[in-house]
Amino acid sequence: NILLDSTGIRLEEPWVYRPVGIVLVLIGLWIILYALVAVNRSIVSAVAPESLDDLPDVIRRNRSLAQGAKVVVIGGGTGLSTLLRGLKQYSANLTAVVTMTDDGGSSGQLQKQLPGGILPPGDIRNCLVALADAEPMMQKLFQYRFKTLDDKDGLSGHNFGNLLIAAMADITGDFEQAVEETSRVLAIRGRVLPSTVESVVLIGEMADGGTVMGETQIADDPRAIARITLSPENPKPIPEVLSAIRGADVIVLGPGSVFTSVIPNLLVKEIVEAIEQSRALLKVYVCNVMTQRGETDGYTASDHVKMIKAHAGRRVFDYVMVNTARPTDEMLTRYSNAGADFVEPDLEAIQDLGYSPVKGPYMNETDVVRHDSERLARDILDLYRDVSTRRQ
């Protein structure tokens, strides 16, 4: 009970106790304050990777995004992730519903190599990266693909992000939870959900009466597709998908491969019913810019619409976003040599089907022809505001 006894000073003496106690309290408060500041800086830097000097602007921007429209985008492949990159600039209330039929590339390898298999993570990964607020290096890491090696069952051709999702699924024992945990790692805006967590196979019924099993085989087959089905039929969607669709302000189908990215989601009957029942003010389909060899050879924009309605069995959208900007002659020749052509914007035919076409220069031509994600996202949300105003 005696401190500093070598100096002859006793803590029991009031004139010593008070200043020492005050100093200790001040030191403790300083340590607590320092820790709080450090934690605050850590949190801020995690949610706002920009300079702390820009924090007020970042807070205002995040607040604006949090108040954005509730948008559900349904599809798969490159088209879905392209649109998400544009939409995340306008809203943080995004839900991507992703088709689960991918059986090619790294996803297909993982399904074969892992004991018990795994749901295909590839399209999920692309959507996570598209919505990510993480540093560019983290995004590059998730998209990194291991170089082709001699080993057949090792890392050759695998994508790092796919491997991480597979590891998360093994750790958690649940694919949906694995996607949720990976979403936290990338600090994404919105949510990415599989349309179903049941293992399903895409079946293509060809125009000549033949049958093809598997998404990759269907895409590679040059024969015309008459109809697409799932095995097993009518898989169950996860509840979060249905609640997101029912509570959406905007529902977007596509863009993406009509037979292998868009339609598979509509073969889940409860998803179609949820879209039909949803109070979303805007339900829109984004038509592709180019046809796809073996899938939509010779298709116009209205042909895409007809095929989606035929598979859904009912009307699931009211508007059709159609690109009217033509690629250069050089690009058209290049695509034609690969078996793809420009999707003609037959707007009158779309109107005759009972839908409202929305035309615009939605094409972005670089080394490939893609949708202009920023322009497309802006016009979708402008259309939503117009529809909302008219219905007030």
Q: Rounded CA gap, 366 and 12, in Å?
A: 81
Domain span holding position 21: 1-43
Q: What pLDDT sits at residue 359?
A: 97
| Each residue's pLDDT tens digit, 238-254 | 999 999 999 999 999 99
> Token pair of 286, please?
């984004």
Pair 283, 203 in one domain: yes
SS3 breakdown of the chain: % helix, strand, coil, rounded to 5? 50, 15, 35
Judge whether 203 lies within some domain: yes
Find the mean pLDDT for residues 223-245: 96
Kindly list the distances between the CA atom of residue 322 and the CA atoms of 17, 103, 148, 332, in Å, as whole numbers in the listed order. Answer: 81, 29, 39, 18
Per DSSP, the residues of 3-40 read -SGGGT--TTSHHHHHHHHHHHHHHHHHHHHHHHHHHH
Pair 1, 86 in one domain: no
What pTM did the predictor assign? 0.84
Phi, psi of 121 (to 5 degrees): -90, -10
Residue that the structure tokens 């929305």 belong to: 358
Pair 240, 283 in one domain: yes
Sheet containing 211-213, strands listed edge to edge, beginning at the edge strand earlier in sequence: 211-213, 201-206, 225-231
pLDDT of 197 over the 90 cut = yes
| Each residue's pLDDT tens digit, 305-360 | 999 999 999 999 999 999 999 999 999 999 999 999 999 999 999 999 999 999 99
Pair 3, 91 in one domain: no
Pair 39, 75 in one domain: no
Q: What pLDDT sits at residue 56?
A: 72
pLDDT of 177 over the 90 cut = yes
Judge whether 246 lies within some domain: yes
Relative orientation angle of helices 122-131 and 136-143, to the nearest 10 degrees: 170
Phi, psi of 75 (to 5 degrees): 170, -140
Pair 340, 387 in one domain: yes
Q: What pLDDT sits at residue 142?
A: 84
pLDDT of 162 over the 70 cut = yes
Pair 280, 339 in one domain: yes
Judge whether 240 lies within some domain: yes
Q: Running DSSP on this structure, what letter comes out for residue 196?
A: B
Which CATH number do you get for residue 337? 3.40.50.10680
pLDDT of 150 over the 80 cut = no
Residue that the structure tokens 């106690």 belong to: 21
pLDDT of 289 over the 60 cut = yes
Judge whether 296 lies within some domain: yes
Residues in CB range of 138: below 8 A, 6 or more apart: 132, 185, 186
Find the mean pLDDT for residues 20-31: 54
Judge whether 28 lies within some domain: yes
Pair 216, 253 in one domain: yes
Q: Are 179 and 192 in contact (CB under 8 A)?
A: yes
Q: What pLDDT sits at residue 97?
A: 98
Q: Rounded CA gap, 57 and 305, in Å?
A: 42
pLDDT of 154 over the 90 cut = no
Query: Average pLDDT, whole number, for the chain?
Result: 86
Judge whether 166 lies within some domain: no
Judge whether 147 lies within some domain: no
Number of domains in the chain: 2
Judge whether 331 lies within some domain: yes
| Each residue's pLDDT tens digit, 119-138 | 889 899 999 999 998 667 77
Pair 246, 299 in one domain: yes
